[in-house]
Amino acid sequence: MAYRGTKYNPNRTNRLSDRDMLMDLLATGKYMSHLYDHAVLESTGGNIRDTFETLQQSEHETAQMLFSFMQQQGWYTTGANRQNFGRRLQRGQRLSGGRPAQSTQADSRYAVTSGSRDFGKYMSGRGQQPSEAPRYAGQGRSGRPYSNRQQERNL
């Protein structure tokens, strides 16, 4: 944003999507959880150790909250629905969240459950109408389908 010398505009395409924000918070939470784990192991005990343990516990709960929110939106695919995920990729559909689905020719079958690999493709293909509205996320909390709203936003 700033490097282009333009004013902040919430509709710009290069701001973080809701999904990216959650991904970032999850990553930060992971880092902090590791930090607390080490802190507990290195503490002499007493009050400080107890506090670190409490904060660690709280960190786990926060991560769980963020994760389940993402899963509700269909932004975090786990192995449980991998088959479905793969089939959708072959039909050329997009996952919700405004990101393109990963390539079916990923170099590894592992560690590709989330995030986008074909960022360049995404950039060049922006503006194209996806063939079909992604129905992956199903209904959002408010009862409206999230996928449609996301799509409008990202075109």
Partner 1 sequence: MPYNNNPTRKEQSYLEDALQMENLCLAKCSVYADQCQDQALKSLLFEVAKTKRHHANRLKQLLGQQSNGQASQQYH
Q: Which of 136, 154, 127, 12 is nearest to 70 (CA)?
A: 136
Q: Are 49 and 40 in contact (CB under 8 A)?
A: yes
Q: Per the structure block, which two tokens stand in for 108? A: 């590894």
Q: Are 150 and 97 in contact (CB under 8 A)?
A: yes
Of residues 53 and 118, the one with the C-beta less far from partner 1: 53
Of residues 47 and 128, the one with the C-beta less far from partner 1: 47
| Ramachandran angles phi, psi of 145, nearest 5° | -70, 125
* Shortest distance (Å) from residue 145 CB to partner 1: 13
Binding site for partner 1 (CB under 8 A): 10, 15-16, 18, 21-22, 24-25, 28-29, 31-32, 35-36, 38-39, 42-44, 46-48, 51-52, 55, 58, 62, 65-66, 69, 140-142, 146, 149, 153
Of residues 72 and 112, the one with the C-beta less far from partner 1: 72
* Shortest distance (Å) from residue 140 CB to partner 1: 8
Beta-bridged to residue 145, according to DSSP, are 139
Angle between the N-to-C axes of helices 18-42 and 46-73, in degrees from 0 to 180, rounded to the nearest 10 = 160
List Cβ neighbours of 58 (8 Å cut-off, separation of 6 or more): none
* Shortest distance (Å) from residue 76 CB to partner 1: 14
Of residues 40 and 89, the one with the C-beta less far from partner 1: 40
* Shortest distance (Å) from residue 65 CB to partner 1: 7
Of residues 64 and 84, the one with the C-beta less far from partner 1: 64
* Shortest distance (Å) from residue 28 CB to partner 1: 5
What is the chain's Cα-based Rg? 19
